[in-house]
Amino acid sequence: MKFITGVNYWPKNHGVQMWTEFDPEEIAEDMRTIARMGMNAVRVFLKWADFQPSPEIIDKSMVGLFDELLVMADAAGVRVIPTFFCGHMSGENWDVPWRGDRDPYSDPEMLRAQVGLVKHFAQRYRSDARILCWDLANEQDIFARPRDRHSGWLWVHTLASELKSHDPEHPVTAGTHITSLTQDCGFRLGDLSECLDFLCMHAYPLYADSCPERLDGVRSTYFVPFCAALTRALGGGADVLFEEFGATSQMCAEDVIEGYYRATLHALLAEGVIGAMGWCYGDFTVGDRLPYETTPFEVGFGLVGVDGHIKGAGRAMQAFCGTLERLGGEALQPSAPGAAIIVPRSYYDNIDPAVTPARNFRALFNSYVLARRAGLNPRVITLDDDLSRFKLVFMPCVPQRRAVNTTDWNRLVEFVEDGGTLYMSYDGAALDGMGRLFGMEVRYPIIEGAGQPVEIQSAGAQDEGCSGALCLRHATGRRLVIRPRDVRVLWTHARGQGGGRAEGEPAVVAAGRGRGYAVFCDFA
């Protein structure tokens, strides 16, 4: 399929008041600029209160303005992604005045009103080639949380089914925020993938504590492609459109943002997503209005400046579109990965209160970064996937319960015996036969305190004539004291560091088992 390249759109001089201050000349010129930059799609937002001022009324004048926008986009050669129910936008929530305190996801009257809106559009624009797909909402996982995951599923299923019943040709998706990766917010990606044709993700390293260094640093470079990979895994292998990413000139220099865009776009293409859309088209001149009044840095995310010049982000997008066109414009199939990073079971709802989605996200993300830096091409998978496709499997930070079941563990043992390599780091794991697989005696677990410094020494450092020491931070505080048996010690603890840790005590060990290898790290 053709790779989707595009931007999220509000006009520079009107922002979220686009529909009530409709400026056809500005919009038409913007569509032409988007096309000149090589992009093929634009995402627009049907601001809920504008299009549905009361439950039983759909504003025909607003629908008429949307008709005009479709004509302008089509004239420029750009397809449109209309987004319903923009409850959250740029740091502010934009509710309909008639909702009151009713739950938008399960209240019958609220559902009936929303069904009415999507039905109107599906019937009116059935099979309209100017529309690329329907997007149910913008970041509903921030706007208002469902009472539970089943209410979230019900809402998505109801609206997607209504759209499909009247317009079976257009795909349906939903603009999901990274909140659905780091919190159990009522919208689980596996639930969404049951109802949608493909998944979307929005993520920004500037907002993430997982990326503390500069925007063009290593973790920030891999952050967005990792979010795409995790979305695909949690969604059961669903296709992913990376619908929002970007950075603001209020935080970073243009050349830094240009480099970030360039790296991110190519990394997303290599990760096998179906498209990438920048946030957003242009810088805004309406900084004294909501949402920009309360979120001032939102005015500077544009690919295009207020005076119309192409900014660094825009130059990177334009160059990427040119490269993509020379390659035929198609989405790529990722090369055979070889290595896999396993998502734990109970990703969202482990019974251990410390094992949160945010904690799981960090463990998987850091494994992804390290694998990439080692020259590997890792695939993020679940324990329901076929392990035989891989030569190397990473299981980081394995907790005590609900992450790896006994049946899963037996499959992993078979994977090693059949010639695979398993790496596992410890965060409370207690699995039958763990000592046998890793060639060690399990002595006892201890808790040393999260964030404590850990220094480990390469076991072969003296022979190689180098220090071979690594200074790390103990992320979780849990450690398993082990005694080596039929195993090679790769790293040892450099010196006594509290908790009974003795100099020379094994930290990382590797054992040959069958035709494969099992590597164990005694902390995480």
Q: Which pLDDT tens digit goes with each residue over 238-254?
A: 999 999 999 999 999 99
Q: Give residue 501's pLDDT.
A: 62
In this predicted structure, the answer to whether residue 497 has a pLDDT above a threshold of 80 is: no
Instruction: Please indicate, yes or no, whether residues 311 and 343 belong to a single structural domain of this protein.
Output: no
Q: Which of 287, 281, 321 is nearest to 29 (CA)?
A: 281
Look at residue 353 and tell me if it is in a domain: yes
Q: Give residue 467's pLDDT.
A: 57
Indicate the pLDDT class of residue 472, thresholds 50, 70 and 90: confident
In this predicted structure, the answer to whether residue 500 has a pLDDT above a threshold of 80 is: no
Q: Can you give the residue range of the structural domain that contains 312?
A: 4-326
In this predicted structure, the answer to whether residue 480 has a pLDDT above a threshold of 60 is: yes
Instruction: Please indicate, yes or no, whether residues 301 and 246 belong to a single structural domain of this protein.
Output: yes
Residue-wise pLDDT for 354-399, tens only, equals: 999 999 999 999 999 999 999 999 999 999 999 999 999 999 999 9
How far apart CA 421 and CA 430 sit, in angstroms, is 20
Look at residue 14 and tell me if it is in a domain: yes
Residue-wise pLDDT for 209-234, tens only, equals: 999 999 989 999 999 999 999 999 99
Q: Give residue 465's pLDDT.
A: 46
Q: Give residue 184's pLDDT.
A: 97
Query: Cα separations (Å) of 495 from 401, 454, 502?
Result: 31, 9, 6
Helix H, strand E, coil C: the string for 376-391 is CEEEEEECCCCHHHCC
Least confident of 50-64, 120-134, 495-509: 495-509
Indicate the pLDDT class of residue 130, thresholds 50, 70 and 90: very high
Instruction: Please indicate, yes or no, whether residues 203 and 316 belong to a single structural domain of this protein.
Output: yes
Q: Give residue 512's pLDDT.
A: 97
Look at residue 61 and tell me if it is in a domain: yes
Instruction: Please indicate, yes or no, whether residues 54 and 111 belong to a single structural domain of this protein.
Output: yes
Instruction: Please indicate, yes or no, whether residues 299 and 208 belong to a single structural domain of this protein.
Output: yes
Q: Mean pLDDT over all residues of the chain?
A: 95
Q: Residue 320: which H helix or E strand, with range?
A: helix 312-326
Instruction: Please indicate, yes or no, whether residues 421 and 310 belong to a single structural domain of this protein.
Output: no
Residue-wise pLDDT for 399-432, tens only, equals: 999 999 999 999 999 999 999 999 999 999 999 9
Instruction: Please indicate, yes or no, whether residues 266 and 367 belong to a single structural domain of this protein.
Output: no
Instruction: Please indicate, yes or no, whether residues 101 and 227 belong to a single structural domain of this protein.
Output: yes
Instruction: Please indicate, yes or no, whether residues 345 and 267 belong to a single structural domain of this protein.
Output: no
Instruction: Please indicate, yes or no, whether residues 354 and 224 belong to a single structural domain of this protein.
Output: no
Give the burial class of 126: count Cβ atoms within 10 A of its Cβ; 0-12 exposed, 13-18 middle, 19 or more buried.
middle
Q: Average pLDDT for residues 53-80, to the nearest whole number?
A: 98
Number of structural domains in the chain: 2
In this predicted structure, the answer to whether residue 461 has a pLDDT above a threshold of 80 is: no
Q: Average pLDDT for residues 448-464, to the nearest whole number?
A: 75
Assign residue 308 the CATH number of its domain: 3.20.20.80
Assign residue 345 the CATH number of its domain: 3.40.50.880
Q: Average pLDDT for residues 36-51, to the nearest whole number?
A: 98
In this predicted structure, the answer to whether residue 74 has a pLDDT above a threshold of 70 is: yes
Look at residue 492 and tell me if it is in a domain: yes
In this predicted structure, the answer to whether residue 508 has a pLDDT above a threshold of 60 is: yes
Q: Give residue 452's pLDDT.
A: 80
Look at residue 43 and tell me if it is in a domain: yes
In this predicted structure, the answer to whether residue 180 has a pLDDT above a threshold of 50 is: yes
- Give the residue from 292, 326, 360 where a domain finishes: 326
- Give the residue from 291, 326, 361 where a domain finishes: 326
CA gyration radius for the chain? 25
- Give the residue from 326, 350, 372 where a domain finishes: 326
Residue-wise pLDDT for 259-274, tens only, equals: 999 999 999 999 999 9
Token pair recorded at residue 16: 């979220």
Indicate the pLDDT class of residue 332, thresholds 50, 70 and 90: confident
Q: Average pLDDT for residues 441-455, to the nearest whole number?
A: 87
Q: Average pLDDT for residues 484-503, to the nearest whole number?
A: 77
Look at residue 333 and tell me if it is in a domain: no
Q: Average pLDDT for residues 78-92, to the nearest whole number?
A: 93
How far apart CA 4 and CA 274 sit, in angstroms, is 6
Instruction: Please indicate, yes or no, whether residues 363 and 316 belong to a single structural domain of this protein.
Output: no
Instruction: Please indicate, yes or no, whether residues 275 and 354 belong to a single structural domain of this protein.
Output: no
Rounded to two decimals, what is the model's pTM? 0.96
In this predicted structure, the answer to whether residue 168 has a pLDDT above a threshold of 60 is: yes
Look at residue 332 and tell me if it is in a domain: no
Q: Average pLDDT for residues 14-38, to the nearest whole number?
A: 99
Q: Which of 306, 251, 240, 317 is nearest to 278 (CA)?
A: 317
